[in-house]
Chain A
Amino acid sequence: MKIRRILAVWTAKAACGICRHMGRQGVTWAGKLALMIYPPVLRELAAEVRGKIFIVCGTNGKTTTNNLLCSALEAEGQKIVCNRTGSNMLNGVAAAFVLAAGMDGRIDADHACIEVDEASTRHIFPQFHPDYMVLTNLFRDQLDRYGEIDITMDILKGVLDSSPRTELIINGDDALSAFLALECRNPSVTYGISEQVAETSDTDEIREGRFCKKCGARLSYRFYHYSQLGDYSCPQCGFSRPPIDHDARGVRVGDQLSFSVGSERIVANYRGFYNVYNILAAYAAGRHAGFPLTHFNQMLKDFHPENGRMESFRICNTAIVLNLAKNPAGFNQNIAAVMTDPRPKDLIIVINDNEQDGTDVSWLWDVDFDRFSGDRINSITVSGIRCRDMQLRLKYADIPSILDDDVESAIWGRVIDGCGNLYMLVNYTALFSTRNILKKLEDTRS
């Protein structure tokens, strides 16, 4: 056992402990330190995982899908390494392994479930080749960082070509994912929803990939679920939605979600149609890897969404739901989920433009905020670094809003003067700070 590896593990654990003590996350810093002290630490620890390594990629739903998959395998009695906090670049992934290692610098795990930022796959694959890659979807996201969605697809194709044994679990309803699977020739299985779901009303939201990636002709759709997800085929070259291996049927959306896959009826106490895909992806991955998943429904019942994915808080008498919304597809789905709640509600939208958010906020104009008009919205407050842009976006949808660039004061304002039912939609870097504020207020005021 190399002394530097042990030192890397110890230092990372200590760094993370100190950060947590100071109320900061510190996971990526811990990973960075470990890699600096002992560069092969990730490669070596990943190699010590006894069973399979799953990675979860895709624009939206990575954290939820990966955490569900991890919980599903844990419910089968497996010991899992997982980056639950959603730190998904090289440092965050390294941290997941380092922090899971023992004081002897070794890892004791049956499997690993790791979410990986698409662009970071280039740095992860040289460290380990995953057995499975779940690809949730490919939407437009943070265009200033990735350039264009085509670039993301090229990156994924590159890493998959370098690892031909990695099996893909893809969303067959996404033409871009299906095309990628076709291009890279890795073994693949699909999940999807083969029937129109009544609760998903069609909107004129912007769709990526409406044209056949293969020949450029316009794809025709039998139906859409949301964004570009649906049942598509190319009238020119015959490219079409692949056969679906894990098909969700009888989908019900509302206060809770339910659907059947195979002979299993799956029920979850979440809102948001998009969560059907997240649950289905985790289920498909687990089943494809050979786990019976007999405890899947019980796991869902016990699963408490964390990290601001529909996470609940209560301050004084106000019920608060915090949710991450970082790109048009995610935001539109969040709006749909909020609007399934028929009660009056206050909203706070927090928009930052830090590097991890994408410094370009023009995507706000691709979100269908118009759906927030109507009498079930009591008020909308805009906050965060780019609250003025957000306010302007709403103004041009004829929706008035309150501007308060201090998040804590915005929350407090709604707790005192709101209708008791508050939703917070925040983008990436706003999430951690908002969550800390909510936890603090919850502890001191309730």
Chain B
Amino acid sequence: MKLTIGHLYPDLLNLYGDRGNIACLMKRCQWRGIEARTIGFESEDSIDFSLLDIVLLGGGSDREQMLVCEKLKKIRQAFQSYVEDNGVVLAVCGGYQLLGRYYKTKDGLIQGLDLVDLYTEQGEGRLINNIILDSPLCKMPVVGFENHGGRTNIGKNRPFGKVLYGAGNDGESGYEGVIYKNVIGTYLHGPLLPKNPQICDHLIKKALERRYGDIDLKPLDDRQEHGANTYMVKRLMK
């Protein structure tokens, strides 16, 4: 089996250890004998979504996001077809905001991809903290770090998780992130996947099933991952 990860705009959106999410996806495939490769698409490249099994859209500064949103217009149609066809997407921080209709900042409006019915507005101050979620996608709590000025309204969409510790989408609703088809949008970096291997495996499984039908992933020795996750849960939830 083969799996291809498309990393969108690593030249612009590469804040906060996004590389860790890619390393995690790659290694957890390779450790199971699944051939995995990552293609980095820089902002001038054209993208053939039919080649991709997982799309990763990372975080960037507001300024960089403004640059990206120009490029995104060109790929919007193809990206939307991929999403509607159950393509797997992990969008983090700025990438999460770009999934929506717009991100309204005090300096202006950043047009999003409008792939998921959500929008973001800049709030007073940044929400910066460790964060823990209870997510329907995994048994373990999801542990990460959030750092965002935007407050995201996901409308009627399903959230990625219920906030057990931290702020989440807007610091008020008690929910974090979004799940739409096989898309996960979230503010969690840290990065997200290494300390939350069940989320990583969920993405891999969905991606493989889309291409190869029902799949059972071979379990891996996750004691170190669980150790790092549990340490933070115990420390923050006591």
Contact = CB atoms under 8 A, between A and B. Distances in A.
A257 to B, nearest CB: 30
Given A210-B11, A362-B145, A389-B228, A143 B16 contact: yes
Interface string B114-131: 000000000000101110
B190 A361 contact: yes
B14 interface: yes
A363 B11 CA distance: 17
B19 interface: yes
Interface stretch (A69-77, A127-135, A145-153): A145-153
Contacts of B15: 140, 143, 148
Contacts of B224: 388, 391-392, 395
A206 B60 CA distance: 13
A48 interface: no
Q: Which of A364, A395, A398 has the most CB of B within 10 A?
A: A395
Interface in B71-101: none
Given A210-B11, A360-B16, A396 B194 contact: yes
A216 B67 contact: yes
Contact of A147 (B19, B67, B126, B195): B126
Contacts of A210: 11
Interface string B1-18: 000000000011011111
A388 B222 CA distance: 12
Interface in B198-238: 224-225, 227-228, 231
A144 B128 contact: yes
B231 A362 contact: no
Contacts of A211: 11-12, 64, 67
Given A143-B147, A395-B224, A396-B194, A362 B20 contact: yes
A330 B31 CA distance: 31
Contacts of A147: 126, 147, 149
B195 A389 contact: yes
Nearest to B15: A143
A247 interface: no
A157 interface: no
B191 interface: yes
Interface residues of B, number: 35
A224 interface: no
A214 to B, nearest CB: 12
Nearest to A147: B126
Contacts of A150: 61-63
A366 B24 CA distance: 13
Interface in A380-403: 388-389, 391-393, 395-398
A402 B32 CA distance: 24
A363 B228 contact: no
B151 interface: no
A148 B65 CA distance: 13
Contact of A392 (B128, B147, B225): B225
B14 A206 contact: yes
Contacts of A360: 16, 128, 145, 147, 189-190
B27 interface: yes
Interface in A128-176: 140, 143-144, 147-150
A218 interface: yes
B144 to A, nearest CB: 9
Interface in B35-89: 43, 61-64, 67
A365 interface: yes
A359 B17 CA distance: 14
Contacts of A365: 17-20, 23, 191, 194
Contacts of B128: 144, 359-360
A149 B64 CA distance: 12
A362 B17 CA distance: 5
A366 B147 CA distance: 17
Contact of A388 (B126, B149, B227): B227
Given A362-B190, A395-B224, A388 B231 contact: yes
A396 B231 contact: no
B195 A363 contact: no
A149 B195 contact: no
Given A143-B15, A211-B12, A362-B20, A392 B195 contact: yes
A381 to B, nearest CB: 14
B130 A363 contact: no
Contacts of B23: 365, 396-397
B228 A391 contact: yes
Contacts of A364: 17, 20
A365 B27 CA distance: 14
B29 to A, nearest CB: 12
Given A360-B147, A362-B191, A148 B61 contact: yes
Nearest to B42: A218
Contacts of B18: 365
A339 to B, nearest CB: 20
Contacts of A216: 67
Given A143-B147, A148-B62, 4 more contacts: A144-B128, A144-B145, A365-B23, A366-B17
18 contacts: A143-B16, A148-B62, A210-B11, A218-B11, A360-B189, A361-B145, A361-B190, A362-B17, A362-B191, A364-B20, A365-B20, A365-B191, A365-B194, A366-B17, A388-B227, A396-B20, A396-B23, A396-B24
Rank and list the top 3 A-B pairs by shortest CB-CB distance, nearest first: A365-B20, A365-B17, A362-B17
